[in-house]
Amino acid sequence: MLKKTTIISIILIVLISFVLISYQSKGLLLFNKIHLYSLFYPIDYLQNFFNELLKTKDENRDLKEKLYKMHLQISSTNELIEENKRLKELLNLKERKKEILTIAKIIKRGANKFLKTVWIDKGKKDGVKVNMPVITINGLVGKVIFASEDFSEILLITDPNFSASVRVERNRIEGVLSGAGTNLCLLKYIPLEEEIMVGDRLITSGTDGIFPEGLSVGVVRKVDRKRGVFQNIEVVPLQSELKIEEVAILKSLP
């Protein structure tokens, strides 16, 4: 059927490949991803430029409106922040600041075969590093899983391989949020006796060492207490993955 040399070649290829894969899976060997974005990036840039130019007027008006609202909110919360700082100082607690590293644009969706990811137009050159949190104005988007010189790949919170430590804003119960593989997330490891209600807002708890405390994540959509040791809780992310256009990358926690 097949020649001897062909069979030997296949066996060799498979062996070499398996050795390479096992080294890579243990993180002992890493290869850079190649991408073709550099090729069509200028065309994409021009297209976006003209699109944005058309939208600028409306966007400007909306942003001004938002700015006024934010200004009002800030002035009313400034006092609380100061009070909080004073109390933290009294208790000797260190405050972890959330600092934005850069703003980036989404340039590609779904390039990864298994993970729900998006690509952004900022990379190592701009200081982007693996594991940096990614947010929008609405809430948490995900984290950086790969960074090349000019581009980076973001793992979305709806991917089952994503996890973050979160807290229920209302009653401070902590759990782990991970993606459901659809457009939803799951809140895991909440015991049956804890009271979680539909509509509860989730924020990051800052205990996972990746995401700073207090980032908005999502809202509880469904609570199922019927089976198992833990509750099955579905969460709708505050930032829909289909509507992400621009993101902010936060600096890693110290």
Partner 1 sequence: MKHFFKWAILTFSAFFLEQILTIDGLTFNFSFLLVFLFIIDYFFPKTEQKKVYPSEILPLCYFIVVGLIEDLFQGVIGPAIISKSFTGILLMILVRQLFFNWTEIFKAAVILTFTVIDEAFYSFIVVYFFNYNISYLPLIKGFIVKGLINIPAGLILSWRKP
Where do contacts with partner 1 occur on this chain (CB under 8 A)? 1-3, 5-6, 9-10, 13-14, 17-18, 20-22, 24-25, 31-36, 39-40, 109-116, 146, 160-161, 178, 181
Non-local (6+) Cβ contacts of 171 within 8 A are 194, 195, 200
Exposure string for 137-160, b = 16+ CB within 10 A, e = fewer: eebbbbbbbbbbebbbbbbbbbbe
Q: How many angstroms separate the CA atoms of 129 and 147, rounded?
A: 6
The residue (of 170 and 188) whose beta carbon lies closer to partner 1 is 188
The residue (of 33 and 86) whose beta carbon lies closer to partner 1 is 33
The residue (of 56 and 182) whose beta carbon lies closer to partner 1 is 182
CA 73-136-138 angle, 5° bins: 55
Closest CA to 222 of 234, 236, 230, 237: 234
Q: How far is the CB of 163 from partner 1 (least distance, A)?
A: 9
Q: How far is the CB of 188 from partner 1 (least distance, A)?
A: 12
The residue (of 109 and 251) whose beta carbon lies closer to partner 1 is 109
Kindly report the backbone phi and psi dihedral angles of residue 110, in degrees, each rounded to the nearest multiple of 5, phi listed first. Answer: 65, 35
The residue (of 40 and 68) whose beta carbon lies closer to partner 1 is 40
Q: How far is the CB of 180 from partner 1 (least distance, A)?
A: 8
Q: How far is the CB of 183 from partner 1 (least distance, A)?
A: 10
Q: How far is the CB of 87 from partner 1 (least distance, A)?
A: 40
CB 137 within 8 A of CB 100: no
